[in-house]
Amino acid sequence: MHFLSLALLPFALALPAQVPMIVRDIIDVDFDSCSASNSVLNITISPCEVGNGSRDDPCHFSAGSNYTITLTYVPPSNSSAPRANLAAEDPAGSGYAYSGQSFGACEYTACPIEENVISTYTYKFVTLDSPFNRLTFNTTDGLEGPSLMCASFPVVL
């Protein structure tokens, strides 16, 4: 059996190599803060299909696939009823509310939110077949209160 494998090695080396899809388990992504408090410390995505999470080479998402997006943040104030907002931006630059989210932020982060305590916000993202190239996560103190954390980052769909 080994002889046959070695005999076929020159033919295998002559075949064009296929570039495998690189899937990273968890990757830090570049992001832009969208609140004056700059409370977001980092964002991770798992898995990151292709891309390295940078602005120039963002993570690639596939329609119908699931991703875990985790934001680590330090809220500037307390909140017992935080509101979650997830917006997507299409390639033309128009923003829209992304379907499937709950507005109850306590589903994604520990509540009550405590001022100046490092916290995590974990969102199980289901990729719909709608065009977008940027996601924005914003958690506010209630419906119209100040932002507790807000960040956006590019993706490729």
- Global pTM reads 0.80
The percentage of the chain sitting over the pLDDT mark of 70, rounded to a whole number, equals 84
pLDDT (tens digit, 0 to 9) for every residue of the chain, 157 residues total?
444 444 444 444 444 444 344 445 778 899 999 977 789 999 999 998 778 778 888 999 999 999 999 999 999 999 999 999 999 999 998 999 998 889 999 999 999 999 999 999 999 999 988 889 999 999 999 999 999 999 999 999 8
Which runs of E-coded beta strand occur in the chain?
23-24, 27-28, 32-33, 40-46, 48-49, 66-73, 82-89, 95-97, 119-126, 134-141, 147-154
Strands 119-126 and 23-24: unpaired
Q: What is the pLDDT of residue 82?
A: 98
Average pLDDT, the chain: 85
Q: What is the pLDDT of residue 24?
A: 53
H helix or E strand, kind and range, residue 3:
helix 2-14
Closest alpha carbon to 127 in 18, 73, 47: 47
Whole-number Å distance between alpha carbons of 101 and 83: 11
Q: What is the pLDDT of residue 1?
A: 42
Cβ(27)–Cβ(53) under 8 Å? yes
Q: What is the pLDDT of residue 22?
A: 47
Instruction: Go through the chain and tell me how many residues it has.
Output: 157
Which domains are assigned to the chain? 21-132 (2.60.40.770)
Closest alpha carbon to 151 in 40, 29, 55, 30: 40
